[in-house]
Amino acid sequence: MNLVKRTGIVLLVLVFFFSAWMAYHLLEQPKTQEISSVSPTDSIVPSQDTVETKPNEQELSVAENEFLKDSTFLQHMSDGEAGFLYQKDTLKKIPASARRINIAIIGVDARMGTVSRRADANHIVSIVPDSGYIEIISIPRDTPADAGMRDSTQNKLTIVHAMKGTKAYLREAGKIAKVGPVKYWIQLGFSQAMGIIELLGQRDSKSTLQVLRSRKGLGGDDYQRCFNQGQYIRQMILRHFSKADGLMGEVLIRGGMAFMNSNLSVEGIKGLVYDLNKAGFPKDASSIIVRVRPETGIKYKVYNFNDSASIKQLKSKIERFNAFMAKKDSSYAKKSIDPAGKLNRVLNALAADTAQKPKKVLEQLHPYFDQHAWMQVRNEKERFNIRQRMGDYLIASFNKIGKPENAKWVQYVIDTEIEMFSGKSASKNQSKKR
């Protein structure tokens, strides 16, 4: 299996486990006790501090359970506060000679129906398949990079992606991450991130995304927030990696490929899953480490994103911040929108155009379909109806202009998404209707 094909897993394992999106620093520091000592580990990549959690243990891998039960690493907080611990100051490095497969996870600032290429979330998932390790390099969006702008303040990584495209972005991100060439990428926006979060079992995807994107309400700045992002990816991979294999893995991989934008292939993902399994991944929770580059002297906090109670407490912390500050946390929109109402208005306006103006329909609906914008609709019945209508309009319009292959692709995307979420009651109802 060649290198290109084995490049995949992360797409899935990541993109799923990603979701995700964007984590932002922590301002208030709850009262904690310092960890006096940490037991060493003999593995190539040292054990990393983890977080107090109360998930359903049957849903976690053995490695994650053992990691979370190690009392050496836990810090217990007062009631009503989300606990955290600190990442160790020293982490051994994976040997520079190790063969790596590097995949960029790019979260673009594309709101519903808009086309934006600013890269607000930037991560390099560096896989060492021969040893069975993953290193996640998280990069703040405003890290200096060559965007070709005359205004030097605009020469930053987020602008590189917007102005110079993916190829230039991968080159600049690779330099900052210091892990070698980055050839592969996964891109997603808000709606897709919410879908992934929901797929990972966190029903209140909106709250989870707000916490992961928080900048002011949880304190700090871009360095801690991107570290939080990396930790979310890490924790989701540890919890769900076993699902990437077998028949269910096939469904998730195909569904994930249709759900995301990427230059990876289904066969590539399956090949990389195979390689990591063969190497015994995850040997333990230290099989994945998170680093932030450029490097700083910041002592990073590690929160538990597996636990819905912890997410709720962190969200409450943001809301308390907003109640006392004139400038609210950027993860909370200034004006709330009604996703279902907005999408239905767009569809109603185009209802009569599929016969006479199919190109207009395709032009206006493409951004919403590409983003899977219906994932922002909380009510599953409404979500199904909107997705169904949008799919019908696009299919009819593609057929009208003589592009049946594009129409088949629209149907494929919808069908694979339904299959991917087939564990949910709404999806079962959808399958019956089809």
Angle at 253 between CA 421 and CA 331, to 5 degrees: 65
- Radius of gyration, alpha carbons of the chain: 21
DSSP characters over 179-224: SS---EEEEE-HHHHHHHHHHTT-S-HHHHHHHHH-SSTT-S-HHH
Q: pTM of the entire structure? A: 0.78
DSSP characters over 109-161: ---TT-----EEEEEEEEEETTTTEEEEEE--TT-B-----SSGGG-BHHHHH
**pLDDT tens over the chain, length 434 residues:** 444 444 444 344 444 444 433 333 333 333 333 323 333 333 333 333 333 334 444 444 544 454 455 444 444 444 556 667 777 665 667 777 889 999 999 999 877 877 778 899 999 999 999 999 999 999 999 999 999 999 888 999 999 999 999 999 999 999 999 999 999 999 999 899 998 888 888 888 888 888 888 887 776 678 889 999 899 999 999 988 988 887 788 888 888 888 889 999 999 999 999 999 999 999 888 899 999 999 988 888 888 888 778 888 888 887 888 888 876 676 665 567 799 999 999 999 999 999 899 999 999 999 999 999 999 999 999 999 999 999 999 999 999 999 999 999 999 999 999 998 875 433 344 434 44
Contact residues for 358 (Cβ-Cβ < 8 A; gap 6+): 396, 397, 398, 400, 401
Burial (0-12, 13-18, 19+ Cβ within 10 Å), 111:
middle
